[in-house]
Amino acid sequence: MLRRGAKTAPDSLDRSLETVCIVLGSTAGSDGPRGAFDSDMRVSYITWDEFRRLVSCDLRSLRRRIARRQLLLWVTILSARALLAHFLVIAALLRPARIAVLEAGGQLRVIGRWRIAAAFVRIVAATLAAVTALTAFFLRAARRRARDLRGVGLEGKGRAVVYLKTNYSFSGTVTGGSVTHTAGVVNALARTGVRTVFVSAEPFKHLDERVCIEHAEPPPTAPALTSWYGLLLGRRLARRALEVAENPEDIAFVYQRLVPYNAAGMGVADRLGVPWIVEYNGSEAWIAGRWGRGGPLLGLLARFERAALRSADRIVVVSEVLKQELLELGIPEHRIRMYPNCVDPNLYAPRRLDGDAPIALRRRLAIDRDALLCTFVGTFGRWHGAEVLAQAIAEWYGADAAFLQKHKIVFLFVGDGQMMPEVRRRLAWLVDSEFVRFAGIVPHRDAPQYLAASDILLSPHVANMDGSPFFGSPTKLFEYMAMAKPIVASDLEQIGEVLRPSLAATSLPLSESLPRKVDKYVAILCRPGVPEDIRRGIAFLARNPAWRDLLGCNARTRVLERYTWEHHVRAVVAS
């Protein structure tokens, strides 16, 4: 039960109670609420992900852990505040002796019963607002479906564009391909001389100084179905975009990434009378159904996606597989623009990153200067194949550890995510060895340094388990290529297409065979999901530094010829 008569703004916690601290957000870069605890207090922590898992599948265990104890909700980042009302309601049902909240940079306060009731009311109000917004979307989409831009060029229609950053993270995560793609497109638009207005509800630090950044205040409370937060966020983004559209007649188009329940660009484009460009990176309903927790409302999400896509004036995709998906959905081909993900070759530039920084990074990771560093970078999704790489390392060590020692081969994993527990399980007996390092999640700005410090870069992507085509266009692949480093990658859909011509792991040249300058090979391609192929490719490069130099040089040249963000932007906005 909640303590009766609890004060709403105490100076400290009750030191006599055992405390359970639930972390809402990320603890990166924070020492925690240590100032609120005495050294003799009994404190245990529950991470955000662990709390959500226990609520969904083991609520009884969670209640035993929290009941009759002091519960502290520690909100570490502002973007997590929208979920605070949800946590308060759930926390009250767990029957702690006391509930307190510590907000990022804010005051510690105890929560009384009336605040729990107020939180419930806010959730109900947000849910009703989301239902209203969802209904309005479907009505607008039905009226807009028949719009046709055949033959209408976008280049000459104005000198400004509006970019709505529709994806939003409650955890404050600022890594991954979506960040790279957003920064790449926005910065490339700005570099073309077009006035680019970027509207976002959360900080984004990766933009060119020429970009005009406008902040939209995020909704304070998420609906009962938190994925519907996009409906409320979309309204805030649209309102802010219309406020800052100084000369609507000069705006060429409105651009947004399609994310669950956020089609903010549609309303903005209609009000301004300009095209609505949608970036589509794959069906979130499909991903949730096969790789997520699913749920009874997947059909509604799929319907939302189809309505948004059919209403868009232009759809940007990054792979032929996604283009074919849209064609099967009935989208006319002239509304679709396909171009792979790309890279900023000035940010990922070998010469710019030469010097002491890569050496210092190796020193921090306890990696010798002359070691052959083989690096994987990613968010450890089901399709990234990090667990296959881990299996290759484990099998290699068991079969021929002498080779690894002779060539001083070290494997570095950069990032974190869903498959990391499986990676660590397969490498459990090697974690403390000289052969494996885990860097964890690193700031986006530091990623080039990790690639610069490496000798071989790895992209072991795997096929979809249901046999459907791999629809991705990994941004890391193009960053690898730009760094002029040799790549060992899976021969999987677009990955193989971008990297051809390449050497095949199953038929590599003899060790004594030297490359010719005229050879245009850019990588070594492996059969997806085959650990032995990864091992063969790395071993070949370990024995042949001349091939490492050639493959890296050719990859950099290929990027400059085809895969910069300027190439991408010109292709997707052309008439």
Q: What was the pLDDT predicted at 148?
A: 58
Is the per-residue pLDDT at 28 higher than 70? no
DSSP output for 62-77: HHHHHTTSEEEEEE-S
Per-residue pLDDT tens over the stretch 522-569:
999 999 999 999 999 999 999 999 999 999 999 999 999 999 999 999
Looking at residues 396-411, what average pLDDT do you find?
93
What would the mean pLDDT of 53-68 be, rounded to a whole number?
Answer: 80
Order of strands, sheet of 336-338, starting from the edge strand that comes earlier in the sequence: 212-215, 195-200, 160-164, 251-257, 276-279, 314-317, 336-338
Query: CA 482, CA 227: separation in Å to the nearest integer?
Result: 36
Q: How far apart are CA 399 and CA 411, in angstroms?
A: 17
pLDDT over threshold 90, residue 38: no
Give residue 85's identity as a one-letter amino acid code: A
Chain centroid to CA 81: 20
- How, if at all, do strands 108-110 and 98-103 pair? antiparallel
563 contacts 522 by C-beta, under 8 angstroms: no
> What is the bridge-based pairing of β-strands 487-490 and 524-526?
parallel
- Asked whether 377 and 343 are in contact (CB, 8 A), the reply is no
In SS3 terms, 263-300 reads as CHHHHHHHHHCCCEEEECCCCHHHHHHHHCCCCCCHHH
**pLDDT over 80 (residue 154):** no
Q: What is the pLDDT, as a whole number, of residue 313? A: 93
Backbone angles phi, psi at 99, to 5 degrees: -120, 130
- From 225, 265, 196, select the one nearest 126 (Cα to Cα): 225
Distance between CA atoms of 369 and 361, rounded to whole angstroms?
Answer: 10
> CA 323, CA 338: separation in Å to the nearest integer?
7
User: 274 is written with which tokens?
Assistant: 């300009």
314 and 278 in contact (C-beta within 8 Å)?
yes
Q: pLDDT per residue over 559-573, tens digit each?
A: 999 999 999 999 988
Residue 100 confidence (pLDDT) above 80 = yes
Find out if CATH 3.40.50.720 is the number for domain 136-338: no
Q: How far apart are CA 84 and CA 158, in angstroms?
A: 43
Edge-to-edge order in the sheet of strand 503-504: 436-440, 409-414, 372-377, 456-459, 487-490, 524-526, 503-504
The reported pLDDT for the residue numbered 158 is 62
Neighbouring residues of 358: CB distance < 8 A, sequence distance ≥ 6: 449, 452, 453
The C-alpha atoms of residue 275 and residue 266 are separated, in whole angstroms, by: 9
Contact assessment for residue 450 and residue 377, using Cβ atoms and an 8 Å cutoff: yes
Sign of the dihedral defined by the CA atoms of residues 441, 442, 445, 449, in that order:
negative
Kindly tell me the number of DSSP H helices and DSSP E strands found in the chain: 19, 19
CA-based nearest residue to 414, from 368, 448, 363: 448
Is-contact 198 213, C-beta < 8 A? yes
Is cis: bond before 501, omega within 30 of 0? yes
Checking if the pLDDT of 156 tops 80, the result is no
CA–CA separation, 359 vs 435, rounded Å? 18
DSSP H helical ranges for 411-457: 420-426, 447-452
In percent, the amount of the chain with pLDDT more than 70 equals 89
Residues 6+ apart with CB under 8 A from 513: none
Angstrom distance (rounded) from CA 381 to CA 461: 10
Residue 458 and residue 326: Cα distance in Å, rounded?
Answer: 31
Dihedral, CA of residue 518, residue 522, residue 528 and residue 533, to nearest 10: 60
More confident residue, 234 or 105: 234
The size of the chain, in residues, is 575
Contact 60, 31 (CB under 8 A): no
Neighbours of 174 (CB within 10 A): 18
In a 13 Å sphere around the CA of 429, the CA atoms on its Cβ side amount to: 7
Per-residue model confidence as pLDDT tens digits over 287-325 = 777 766 556 688 899 999 999 999 999 999 999 999 999
Domain 356-568 belongs to what architecture?
Answer: 3-Layer(aba) Sandwich (3.40)
φ, ψ dihedrals at 489, nearest 5°: -140, 165
Instruction: List pLDDT tens digits, range 421-459.
Output: 899 999 988 777 788 999 988 887 888 999 999 999 999
Collapse the DSSP code of 78 into the 3-class scheme (helix H, G, I; strand E, B; otherwise coil) and give the result.
helix
Q: Where on the phi/psi map is residue 417: left (φ > 0), alpha (ψ -120 to 50), or beta?
A: left
Between 133 and 91, the more confident residue is: 133
pLDDT for position 27? 55
Cα-based angle 260, 267, 179 (whole degrees, multiple of 5):
45
* pLDDT over 90 percentage in the chain: 51
